[in-house]
Amino acid sequence: MVLPPDATLADVGEFGLIAALVEQFGTDDQVLVGPGDDAAVLRIRHGHVVVSTDLMVEGRHFRRDWASAEDVGHRAAAQNLSDINAMGGRGTHLTIGLAAPADLPAAWALDFARGFSQECAEVGATVVGGDLTRADQVVISVTVLGRCTQAPVLRSGAQPGDVLALAGRQGWAAGGLAVLGRGFRSPRVLVEAYRRPRPPYAQGQAAAEAGATALIDVSDGLLAEAGHVAVASGVAIDVRRDAFEVPEPLHAVGAALGADPMEFILAGGDDHALLATFPGTGSVPEGWQVIGAVAEGEGVTVDGASYDGSTGWTHF
Amino acid sequence: MVLPPDATLADVGEFGLIAALVEQFGTDDQVLVGPGDDAAVLRIRHGHVVVSTDLMVEGRHFRRDWASAEDVGHRAAAQNLSDINAMGGRGTHLTIGLAAPADLPAAWALDFARGFSQECAEVGATVVGGDLTRADQVVISVTVLGRCTQAPVLRSGAQPGDVLALAGRQGWAAGGLAVLGRGFRSPRVLVEAYRRPRPPYAQGQAAAEAGATALIDVSDGLLAEAGHVAVASGVAIDVRRDAFEVPEPLHAVGAALGADPMEFILAGGDDHALLATFPGTGSVPEGWQVIGAVAEGEGVTVDGASYDGSTGWTHF
């Protein structure tokens, strides 16, 4: 379907846009009924199905002037696929709810869907349904189904004596967001890290197979997520600053904005890195970096002391 | 958890509210991991999993002054469970995304969750996860998973010679919405039908078992849904006015508002009635009413002629 370049959602109409969107999405042999009926129908092998839902709100989780529609599509898919990664599984099927003003360019919705679909292709996942309606601001709701080939790894299994480890880039997206917030567009590598996160999709299952005792993805900030693990597991977690080599672009941003670059690493989300605990350094698989330790007690410390900077994102 | 009666979402905070919400939801023996981790984990028996997503936007799909939070919860759940009903299945597990202004009373969210949970109990379904974030207006996104015990019934199977049949109340909710729109609160029975629809949850599976060739739920309006079946199946559908006995309260509303009460029946959604086609009157199960016929051709007619009233809801 070819849309006029300046067509809005109101011009194209619900069913016209849905038809154009569905063309963006592929299918797979588990999808018996895809988009277009009252519900999608999936053929599921006996086993564990993992389910997660996330919302993204314009002006809060993304800005249309800070990221292209395709970027927002990549981010929306990545954020959800990452939740399945954080259980030690892999996303398989997704639904998208899109609420948007009537004057939203239809091309924005199509570009969003293309980016979303491209990100899903990274793990072989398929969009199987959705809903489209009108609202004052763009709200994107995604639900992802996934599979674990072994027992899912929860937040609650960390044990005193475990080591804390990280997979994936951390702090890059927060650095990118900070420069965008000041009206800059560089360092380009950080802005791109914010616009198109690269979650370590292979590392969730790798951690599970290596015997990770707890696993979570970093979306609210590294220390905040360590805090979730500490509370759920009933343990204390200490993060070591010297475990991180601050990448050059974060040094540059810190200097330009008068900020401590370590803040981006300790409080940043949006990279969708994975944080895990393992029974000992010997069990930490390749691609993971030991950044701290688990002990008896409660709370999160940095280098053994309480941390007084921001620990991450607050929703209300 | 007891919240101060005037607490807002901002007062209670994301994690406080989530804890209070989760208390509203039960669990079942298929739920291995419920709300609180990166994703929920379900034990699925080998077979077909049916998935659907719907959005509800404040000011468009509901008004807080026209329905209580508990009512909105009932409606949000009913609308989604009905999509599974319309495949011939039964909803089993749901996720809820709630985007809301920071000044939303926390009690509204809790009452919403209670109504949602009560409606889910009608079919034995369980809430297993969700997301909560801030937005300018309330946007509710629900994803439902369900099961079919036989092959799902699609929109596309209607055949010339089939009869068209309806299960459940039709037009009542539209009548209720019309009086609310004029600032009235009666007839009470219609307003209640709008606030708490009673979808015929047992009739989806009954239709499938009786050999229904097509099945859809009436959410966009009776003629609009008949149109979806006609297009998907490549057939013509005729609806007969004399198949309907207009209930007394709809006559009263029609007289009061100067409207043809048949409009509420032909164009109304929101009751979540089921519309199906069957191979002949002999195969129509109890609880269904024959309201028309399927023929070769295309399009939807009323008493053999084109219909010039509204056929239902337009999203953009």
What is d(CA A253, CA A174) in angstroms, rounded to the nearest whole number?
10
User: What pLDDT, in 10s, does the model give residues B177-188?
Assistant: 999 999 999 999
- Which pLDDT value is given to residue B316? 55
Two tokens, residue B172 = 């009542």
- Which pLDDT value is given to residue B260? 93
Two tokens, residue A278 = 């393992």
Q: What is the mean pLDDT of residues A214-218?
A: 97
User: What pLDDT, in 10s, does the model give residues A231-277?
Assistant: 999 999 999 999 999 999 999 999 999 999 999 999 998 999 999 99
What is d(CA A217, CA A210) in angstroms, rounded to the nearest whole number?
17
Q: Do residues A198 and A174 make contact, with C-beta atoms less than 8 angstroms apart?
A: no
B283 is an annotated ligand-binding site residue: no
Which phi and psi (to 5°) does residue A157 adopt? -100, 5
Query: What is the interface size between A and B, counted as CB pairs within 8 Å?
Result: 234
- Which pLDDT value is given to residue A35? 81
Q: Which residues of B touch A315 (CB under 8 A)?
A: 13-14, 132-134
Closest CA to B276 of B166, B180, B170: B166
Closest CA to B91 of B57, B58, B62, B54: B54
What is d(CA B35, CA B44) in angstroms, rounded to the nearest whole number?
17
- The third-level CATH classification (topology) of the domain covering B9-147 is 60s Ribosomal Protein L30; Chain: A; (3.30.1330)
What DSSP string describes A177-241? Answer: HHHHHTT---SHHHHHHHHS----HHHHHHHHHTT-SEEEE-SS-HHHHHHHHHHHHT-EEEE-G
The more confident residue out of A183 and B30 is A183
Strand pairing partners for A217? A274
Does A315 score more than 60 pLDDT?
no
What is d(CA B61, CA B139) in angstroms, rounded to the nearest whole number?
10
Closest CA to B311 of B271, B269, B252: B269
User: What pLDDT, in 10s, does the model give residues A70-90?
Assistant: 999 999 999 999 999 999 999
CATH, domain range B163-302: 3.90.650.10
Dihedral angle sign, alpha carbons of residues A224, A227, A232, A238: positive
What is d(CA A12, CA A211) in angstroms, rounded to the nearest whole number?
51
Strand-by-strand arrangement of the A289-295 sheet = A214-217, A274-278, A163-167, A289-295, A236-239, A299-302
Closest CA to A269 of A139, A157, A176: A176
Q: Do residues B165 and B133 make contact, with C-beta atoms less than 8 angstroms apart?
A: no
Does A190 score more than 90 pLDDT?
yes
Does A293 score more than 60 pLDDT?
yes
User: What pLDDT, in 10s, does the model give residues A106-164?
Assistant: 899 999 999 999 999 999 999 998 899 999 999 999 999 999 888 899 999 999 999 99
Q: Which residues of B touch A54 (CB under 8 A)?
A: 97, 131
User: Residues of A forming the annotated binding site for Mg(2+)?
Assistant: 38, 52-54, 83, 131, 217, 220
Is the peptide bond prior to A187 cis by the omega test (within 30 degrees of 0)? yes
Closest-CA distance of chain B to residue A147, Å? 9
The full set of domain ranges for chain B reads 9-147, 163-302
Two tokens, residue A233 = 């597991």
| Residues of chain A above pLDDT 70, percent | 97
Q: Do residues A133 and A99 make contact, with C-beta atoms less than 8 angstroms apart?
A: yes
Q: Which residues of chain B have pLDDT under 50?
A: none
Burial of A157-174, coded b for 16+ CB within 10 Å and e otherwise, reads bbbeebbbbbbbbbbbbb
Closest-CA distance of chain A to residue B24, Å? 18
Does A312 score more than 70 pLDDT?
no
Question: Is B308 exposed, middle or buried, given 0-12, 13-18 or 19+ CB atoms closer than 10 A?
Answer: exposed
Nearest CB among B9, B52, B315 relative to A39 is that of B52
- Which pLDDT value is given to residue B136? 94
Two tokens, residue B281 = 């009157």
Dihedral angle sign, alpha carbons of residues B41, B43, B47, B51: negative
Identify the three-state secondary structure at position A61.
coil
Closest CA to B71 of B155, B194, B228: B194
Strand-by-strand arrangement of the B47-57 sheet = A31-33, A40-44, B47-57, B139-147, B90-100, B126-134
- Which pLDDT value is given to residue B168? 97
Nearest CB among B45, B133, B145 relative to A55 is that of B133
- Which pLDDT value is given to residue B313? 54
Nearest CB among A33, A133, A144 relative to B315 is that of A133
Are A9-147 and A163-302 in the same CATH fold? no
Closest-CA distance of chain A to residue B145, Å? 9
- Which pLDDT value is given to residue B120? 95
Which residue in chain A is spatially nearest to B34 when comparing CA positions?
A51
What's the full length of chain B, in residues?
Answer: 316
Start-to-end CA span in chain A (Å): 41
- Which pLDDT value is given to residue B10? 83
Nearest CB among A49, A89, A97 relative to B53 is that of A97
In SS3 terms, chain B reads as: CCCCCCCEHHHHCHHHHHHHHHCCCCCCCCEEECECECCEEEEECCEEEEEEEEEEEECCCECCCCCCHHHHHHHHHHHHHHHHHCCCCEEEEEEEEEEECCCCEHHHHHHHHHHHHHHHHCCCCEEEEEEEEECCCCEEEEEEEEECCCCCCCCCCCCCCCEEEEECCCCHHHHHHHHHHCCCCCCHHHHHHHHCCCCCHHHHHHHHHCCCCEEEECCCCHHHHHHHHHHHHCCEEEECHHHCCCCHHHHHHHHHHCCCHHHHHHHCCCCCCEEEEECCHHHCCCCEEEEEEEECCCEEEECCECCCCCCCCCCC
Which phi and psi (to 5°) does residue B137 adopt? -130, 165
Q: Are the Cβ atoms of A54 and B14 closer than 8 angstroms?
A: no
The C-alpha angle B91, B97, B98, rounded to 5 degrees, equals 125
Q: Do residues B13 and A26 make contact, with C-beta atoms less than 8 angstroms apart?
A: no
Closest-CA distance of chain B to residue A19, Å? 13
What DSSP string describes A99-140? Answer: EE-TTSBHHHHHHHHHHHHHHHHTTT-EEEEEEEEE-SS-EE
Q: Are the Cβ atoms of B51 and A145 closer than 8 angstroms?
A: yes
**CB hemisphere CA count around B159 (13 angstroms):** 8
Using CA atoms of A172, A173, A176, A177 in order, give the dihedral in degrees to the nearest 10.
-140
